[in-house]
Amino acid sequence: ATAFSPTVTSFVQPQPVPNPQDFVLWSFFNAMFCNPFCLGFIALVFSVKSRDRKIAHDSAAAGTYGRTAKHLNIAALSLGIVVTTICIVVLVMYYNSLRVGS
């Protein structure tokens, strides 16, 4: 006679791989509206590279390109804000000097 024993099956759950960000929308915004020294466009290029690497399941390269895009976006947005603020201040000062002079 053959004895049947219960079969025990165990599953190993793989650790989830973090999904690197690609910052495409932020890069697109910077390319259209805050593009000093073409930093927004360069950030958009790195964002697209990051998305391509993510689709190819290369998380390490996608993370590297994503971080580069993030840093370029920060630089582009900061420079864009500073330049816009300086332009507004100069225009207000110019307008005030025209009003006082006449």
Q: What is the pLDDT of residues 12-51, one digit of tens each?
A: 777 776 789 999 999 999 999 988 899 999 999 999 999 9
Q: Is the pLDDT of residue 5 over 90?
A: no
What CA–CA distance (Å, rounded) separates 75 from 80? 8
What CA–CA distance (Å, rounded) separates 20 from 57? 11
* 50 in Cβ contact with 22 (< 8 Å): yes
Q: Which two tokens stand for residue 20?
A: 């690197």
Q: Is the pLDDT of residue 1 over 70?
A: no
What CA–CA distance (Å, rounded) separates 73 from 51? 16
List the chain domain ranges.
Answer: 23-54+67-101
Determine the Cα angle at 18 with ends 16 and 21, to 5°.
150
